[in-house]
Amino acid sequence: MRILFIAPKYSGGIGGHAKRVADKLQENGFEIELMHAPHVPIKKLKNPTFAVSSILKAISGRKTYDIVHAFNLPSAFAMKYTKAKKKVLSIHGVYSEQIDALHSETTSTKVKNKEADILKWADKLLTNSKNVKQS
């Protein structure tokens, strides 16, 4: 089974989690590829630049996967443009609430207006808590 994981490239957090899960699946015989796309290190623009660079990487890719698994909302944009039989999106918190805490209410409102549409791009949604599932 050929699986693509899409996550930010960080040693901790979601990127670290995706890497550890990928390593365990590989130990058990799964073919896992991990897509890390760069971000521009500009304050308040890391997630948007990650989303754009990962989309470009997905569009330019010629491979088809059995499953593409995106970790959190910014990774969903690349998931949408990756060729795969099934698309999975893991949600690690309510993204619009995270944006509100980190940036501004205006930015958070814009994200919240698109959040429900973005979640529909996945065939399956996973979450790390009951509270997020209910939101």
pLDDT value, residue 105: 65
Is residue 133 included in any domain, yes or no?
Answer: no
Taking CA atoms, 52 is separated from 55, 59, 127, in Å, by: 5, 11, 24
Q: How many domains does the chain have?
A: 1
pLDDT value, residue 22: 94
pLDDT value, residue 79: 92
Profile the chain (135 residues) by mean pLDDT over runs of 10 residues.
Answer: 87 82 95 77 56 64 90 87 94 63 60 78 85 58
What are residue 14's phi and psi, to 5 degrees?
-65, -40
Residue 118 neighbours by CB distance under 10 Å: 18
pLDDT value, residue 27: 97
Segments forming the whole domain that contains residue 30: 2-128
pLDDT value, residue 128: 74
CATH number reported for the structural domain that contains residue 108 in this entry: 3.40.50.2000
Q: Which residues of 45-61 are buried (b: 16+ CB within 10 A; e: fewer)?
A: ebbebbbbbbbebbeeb
What is the DSSP secondary-structure string of 64-126?
EEEEEEEESHHHHHHHHHSEEEEEEEEE-S-HHHHHHHHS-HHHHHHHHHHHHHHHTT-SEEE
pLDDT value, residue 107: 60
pLDDT value, residue 66: 97
Is residue 77 included in any domain, yes or no?
Answer: yes
